[in-house]
């Protein structure tokens, strides 16, 4: 069975996986910019807590992809996140 679940933040996904829900792939998108967030892509901005949760999801073996439309090519979100994080640190 395939289902689409929507989450407000990646920490909620970590909690669900830790509770035993077998989530294998997460499409990251629609995380709006606010003052406490760093912009990663045109449509995704993250807090430090979000970044840590994405790292945890990656360590748990979850595939994190960035794709706006189903017809778009999937991009590796962790690669994008790490490149932006690395470049912002100098």
Residue 88's pLDDT is what? Answer: 67
- Write the CA distances from 68 to 2, 12, 13, 41, 56, integer angstroms: 19, 21, 19, 11, 23
Query: Which residue carries 């992809």 as its tokens?
Result: 65
pLDDT for position 89: 62
Q: Compute the Cα dihedral for 16, 18, 19, 24 and give only its sign.
A: positive
pLDDT score, position 68: 83
pLDDT in tens, 33-55: 888 899 999 889 999 999 999 99
Can you tell me the mean pLDDT for 1-26?
Answer: 93
Structural domains in the chain plus CATH codes: 23-88 (3.40.35.10)
Residue 32 token pair: 């709006």
pLDDT score recorded for residue 10: 96
Mean pLDDT of 75-82: 95
Looking at residue 85, its pLDDT comes to 75
């Amino acid at each position: 069975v395939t289902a689409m679940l929507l989450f407000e933040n990646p920490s909620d996904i970590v909690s669900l996986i830790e509770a035993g829900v077998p989530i294998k792939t997460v499409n990251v998108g629609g995380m709006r910019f606010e003052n406490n967030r760093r912009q990663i892509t045109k449509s995704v901005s993250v807090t430090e807590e979000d970044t840590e949760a994405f790292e945890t999801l990656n360590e748990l073996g979850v595939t994190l992809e960035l794709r706006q439309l189903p017809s778009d090519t999937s991009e590796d979100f962790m690669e994008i996140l790490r490149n932006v994080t690395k470049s912002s640190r100098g």
